[in-house]
Amino acid sequence: MALVTSSAPQVFGEYSVSLVVRSTVMNLWKSLNWAWLDTICQYRRSRIGPLWETINVLVMLIGLTLVSSSIFGSSMTDIIGYVGLGIIVWTAVSSLVIEGSGAFVRNAGYVSNSTLSVDLYVGRAVFKTMITFGHHVILYFVGVVFSLVPFGWTSLLAIPGIILLFVNGFWIVMVLSFICARFRDVELFVRNIMQLAFFVTPIFWNYRQISSSRRFIVDYNLLFYFIEIVRNPLLGEVPPLSHYLTVLAVTAIGFALAYFVHRKMRRQLAFFV
């Protein structure tokens, strides 16, 4: 009798963990399907679909490369890879922050009239950004073909960087969606901040060229580390270990914050939207 009693909690615990894992995987799969359908519907009856976004990035890339080369006196072929990859990664970061902040508000009808998990709305925003990012990465391979950027084993280090970027996207969208649903002015504030962050973050300018007295602009810019763990490997450079440690620390703190915000604001979400 004692054996049955002692083993029951263990069996129940294993069943609970299995149920949570299964539920999480199902929610992620549903979110991916939802995001894919969003992408198809957004570009329905368009000849090239999401590649319009890629063309916009290409135009921006060429324009900023021209401006950057004129200001800093560099050759366009020398910096086009640096600037292009910076813009591609920044576009994903910006989309996660700006578009993700309105995830609950855009799905107000579902939030108010259904019992769907909020994870679905978060995953929908993250995966839609990921799909768009996949289209933008085509520009990198175009650069490889024309020998504008290198391609080798070091390039594979970009994969964990991309994974970390979009894993962080889940807590970013979760936190901002709750806060922006409760305080609507925050979404507009976030949009303005991201416009400023674009110029402060070394995307089209080389952070190695600034003086040591101004290094704090880069050292205390968390967005810089997320961009570098993807851009550096694709440029044939191994990111410093400190970059990964910084990103992992932000990941841990971010998910802890997301758990706290979810626990405090989940019950009132239907009233916020």
Digit-by-digit pLDDT tens for the chain (273 residues) are 444 444 555 544 555 667 767 777 887 888 888 888 888 887 777 777 777 788 888 888 888 888 888 777 777 777 888 888 999 999 999 999 998 888 888 888 888 887 778 888 898 899 999 999 998 899 889 888 888 888 889 899 999 999 999 999 999 999 999 999 888 888 889 999 999 999 888 888 888 877 777 888 888 889 999 999 999 999 989 999 999 999 999 999 999 999 999 888 888 887 777
109: CB partners within 8 A, 6+ apart:
none
Number of domains in the chain: 1
Say if 268 falls within a structural domain.
yes
Report if residue 4 sits inside a domain: no
pLDDT confidence of residue 17: 66
Residue at 6 is within a domain: no
Q: Which pLDDT score is estimated for 193?
A: 92
Instruction: Answer whether residue 8 is part of any domain.
Output: no
CA distances in angstroms from 12 to 5, 6, 8, 19, listed in the order given: 11, 11, 6, 10
pTM (2 d.p.): 0.86
Whole-angstrom Cα distance, residue 122 to residue 99? 11
**Residue 1's pLDDT is what?**
42
Instruction: Please give the DSSP secondary-structure letter assigned to residue 13.
Output: H
Distance CA 151, CA 69 (A): 23
Contact in structure between 90 and 201 (CB atoms under 8 Å) = yes
Which residues have CB under 8 Å from 89's CB, separation 6+? Answer: 165, 226, 227, 230, 231
Rounded Cα distance, 170 and 108, in Å: 19
Q: Residue 10 falls within a domain, yes or no? A: no
Phi, psi of 48 (to 5 degrees): -115, 0
Determine the pLDDT at residue 230. 94
Would 187 be classed as within a structural domain? yes
Q: Is 43 exposed, middle or buried (0-12, 13-18, 19+ CB in 10 A)?
A: middle
Tell me which residue range forms the domain holding 75.
Answer: 30-272
Please report, to the nearest 10 degrees, the dihedral formed by the alpha carbons of residues 171, 173, 179, 185 taken in order: 150
Q: Tell me which residue of 112, 214, 130 sits closest to 205, measured CA to CA.
A: 214
Query: Within a domain: residue 15?
Result: no
Note whether residue 25 is domain-resident: no
